[in-house]
Amino acid sequence: MIRVETSGYFITGSDTDVGKTYIACQIVQQLAAAGLEVETRKPAESGCRPGPGGEMLTNDAAALQRANGDREPIERISPYRFRAALAPHRAARLEGHRLLIENLIDACSRDHADRCLIVEGAGGFYSPLAENGLNADLAGTLQLPVIIVVHDRIGAVNQALMTTQAVTSRHLRVAAIILNQVTPITDPDMDNAADLQAHCDLPVFRCEHGALLPPLFEAADG
């Protein structure tokens, strides 16, 4: 298990479609159950759908909102929402907007300085997020410990180790690696957790397909 960082965490993926939101929501719930007040941010989300009033309805931000007990409005969780299922900066261009990393940094500000901030990126750690920045640039500015979510499949060890190296190269601390079974494992002889643990000294957790994440946290700091 890992000790709670009351400052919060940046949730990133080794790739797209690794189940970051599924994991991030469970992290929010675990932290709230531990007695922390949490703020959630998904500063940019693409692939949204238009609502009846012209607003962009979300999937990821709405899931974070529910996980945190509907304590925050969608507009605060994810102020930049776009229709095209592309990298956010490209989706923004199609709607006549120029999305800058400075916009996303501002969007991740806390409303209450003493609350635990959970920020979910978009795509992998080195995926473009704005016209002038990657997920890595946002994480580097926020200086939150990073939780890496990896699809638990063939190639997961390579993806996890490369993403870990990318995160640490930005002088950020990796708090944990979570192997998420987006699809059921069909080969019982595969054990990515054991293979990964042999090559790194970080906490490694496995989330089985469709199951709850095992408890991650020991106790809050202080």
Residue 44's domain comprises: 2-220
Distance CA 145, CA 159 (A): 19
Catalytic entry in 20, 41, 42, 89: 42
Give pLDDT tens digits for 70-98: 999 999 999 999 999 999 999 999 999 99
Q: Report the candidate in 10, 3, 4, 24 with the shortest Cα–Cα distance to residue 180.
A: 24
pLDDT band at 179 (very low <50, low <70, confident <90, very high): very high
Does the pTM of the predicted model rise above 0.75? yes
Beta bridge mates, 148: 12, 177
CATH number, domain with residue 36: 3.40.50.300
**pLDDT score, position 185:** 86
pLDDT band at 222 (very low <50, low <70, confident <90, very high): very low
Q: Report the candidate in 107, 115, 105, 110 with the shortest Cα–Cα distance to residue 136.
A: 105
Give pLDDT tens digits for 55-66: 899 999 999 999
**pLDDT score, position 55:** 86
Cβ atoms < 10 Å from Cβ of 162: 14
Number of domains in the chain: 1
Q: Is the pLDDT reported for residue 9 higher than 70?
A: yes
- Residue 20 bears catalytic tag: no
